[in-house]
Amino acid sequence: MSKRKQDADVNEFWSLARSFLKVYLPNAREVSQNTVKAYKQALETLIKYLEDSGFTRDTITIGTFTPACIEGFMVWMSKEQNCKPRTCNLRLSAIKTFLRYCGHHVITNESISREVLELPMKKVRKEKIEYMSNGATAAIMNAPDNRRLIGRRNKAMLSLLYDSAARVQELVDIKVDDLYLNEKASADGESFVTLRGKGDKLRNVNLSPKTAKLIQSYLNEFHPRENRGAPLFYTKRAGSLWPLSVDSVSRILKENADKARLCVPDIPERIHCHLLRKSRAMHLYIAGVPLPVIMELLGHASMNTTSGFYAFVTWEMVSEAMKKANEGHLEGEMLWKEPNVRKQLYTLD
């Protein structure tokens, strides 16, 4: 290949990559900036793999992305970067979308992208979802010191985060104008918050009367001037209100979880905002709330996402179901819950 042709192919790749990220995704696909960042991270990770393999940025072309290259990339992410299968699959999906875009724009790239599109995803082992007990979440919600102004803010913020099952980014994006509070919580006027989810999709989430009351008290203290466009949870810089950062919310959750753990030891050491979201979903699922309702609450685009995480029974649910089925028929101890008896249930003897 001549030097001129090589340079043209290199320039073609970088031009298509920039167009994909800056024009196609935000304008043609109308995805959110967070989604664009995820695609960009996938491409940057792939480029880092190529650099580790001996390529330089001025030698990368579309033709570099052969099936063997992408297969090696998947192994590298798993073995060298310790990425979980789900992360590997998300990045592979992003790369496939990019190569499909390249194939549509330059006909010579179509056969390359078609071969990569046929590569299989990694097998993802279905693991039991991690979630906290009702007692653990209640302890965290009650950990902030109500005697202090900042404690009352933190209590309102953590309660809203749990009650709405919001993603932490969705929480910090909430503005005062996104709240619809009914202090009396009558049947004909429920309280709810509008959340901006992935892809800038909006969804309304009902709030419990207790959370609505906490948020109303918070508004009276922290937003007395009724600035409807202000961020709900904020920090002041140079006289202006700025949304709290995701890191700040995570730190506040961790501090209050550490405090609550002194009284409730079963609170996990590794606490994070997404654990509150999963706990809320599981608590609703165990209480009998249908999966389609939980899907709407979580803002999942597909039922497969929701059912993949939450559609399994717990021993508590089995126990409750058997108790109801046995009412008036069987009495005595539930020996099936004993470890030795349970072990015998799953043998071929």
CA distance 102 to 14: 11
- The answer to the question of residue 146 being in a domain is yes
Residue with tokens 């600035």: 227
27-75 tens-digit pLDDT = 999 888 888 999 999 999 999 999 999 999 999 998 899 999 999 999 9
Is the domain of 277 the same as that of 254? yes
Is the domain of 297 the same as that of 325? no
Name the band, by pLDDT with cuts 50, 70 and 90, for residue 117.
confident
- The answer to the question of residue 122 being in a domain is no
Total domains, the chain: 3
User: What residue numbers bound the domain in which 336 lies?
Assistant: 315-345
Is the domain of 156 the same as that of 275? yes
Is the domain of 67 the same as that of 141? no
Which alpha helices (H) appear in the chain, and where do they start and end? 3-19, 33-52, 67-79, 85-105, 110-117, 134-141, 149-164, 168-172, 209-222, 246-261, 273-286, 291-298, 303-310, 315-326, 339-345
CA distance 51 to 123: 27
- The answer to the question of residue 128 being in a domain is no
Is the domain of 276 the same as that of 331? no
Q: Which of 88, 117, 146 is the last residue of a domain?
A: 117
- Determine which of 116-130, 161-175, 199-213, 287-301 has the lowest per-residue pLDDT on average: 116-130
Is the domain of 302 the same as that of 326? no
Q: Tell me, what CATH number does 95's domain have?
A: 1.10.150
72-89 tens-digit pLDDT = 999 999 999 999 998 999
What strand order describes the sheet that includes 202-207? 179-180, 191-196, 202-207
Top pLDDT among 73 and 131 is at: 73
Is the domain of 39 the same as that of 180? no
